[in-house]
Amino acid sequence: MKVVVSVGGSVLAPDLESDRVAAYAEALQSLDEQGHTLGTVVGGGPTARKYIRAARDLGANEIELDQLGIAVTRLNGRLLIAALDDRAAPTPAESYDEGREAIRRGDIPVLGGIVAAQTTDAVAAAFAEYVEADLLVYATSVAGVYDADPKTDPDATRFDEIDAGELVDVIADMEMDAGSNAPVDLLAAKVIQRSGIRTVVLDGTDPDRVVRAVLNGDFDGTEVLPES
């Protein structure tokens, strides 16, 4: 399959620990060795949120905050590239064209943010649509899509399956300011809806969960189904 894996920054590098990055690289390399074509997108995580919070206090506007977040996602991307060694394109792709060209060369592209006002959730969905991926996997810090934020609402209910239109409805009121922390945002959901790409949202703190989801469809999370 052609698979795009979106790894949240809070999953890949919560404390800039090299072991977690190395484990993700090993997981991606195992899928690569199984013959799957891969693209990856990396988020900014807590490091980006710290920079954004400090810059907001200093008076930066939302677009400036987005640009700061993009820079951090690309730093995280460089960590993953270092761990993937010669299997990855040498620098983070800064456009969808650059990412697709890396795939055509046989490299694994690593993307961070692309443009302001667009999260890496949306980047992953758009890139998956652009390269006509068979599967999009969101490796997040929560175990799927919920009807509320499970970190703040103990009554939040997880969806095991949800169709793309329902996903859009569930998160339509989600805030979209820089540094927001959600498994999948509204723009990503709309791109998933129009593209019809099969999508899985899972707890990515163990990268082997991504491998199992790709290889045999075994995962504990939410499957976003194309609309009938």
CA gap 41, 70 in Å, rounded: 12
CA distances in angstroms from 188 to 6, 29, 79, 185, 194, listed in the order given:
11, 26, 24, 5, 10
pLDDT above 70 (res 75):
yes
Tell me the per-residue pLDDT of 118-166, one tens digit each, with 9 for 90 and over: 999 999 999 999 999 999 999 999 899 988 777 788 888 899 999 999 9
Contact 70, 11 (CB under 8 A): no
Give 105's DSSP letter: H
CA gap 160, 157 in Å, rounded: 10
Tell me the per-residue pLDDT of 56-69, one tens digit each, with 9 for 90 and over: 999 999 999 999 99
pLDDT above 80 (res 51):
yes
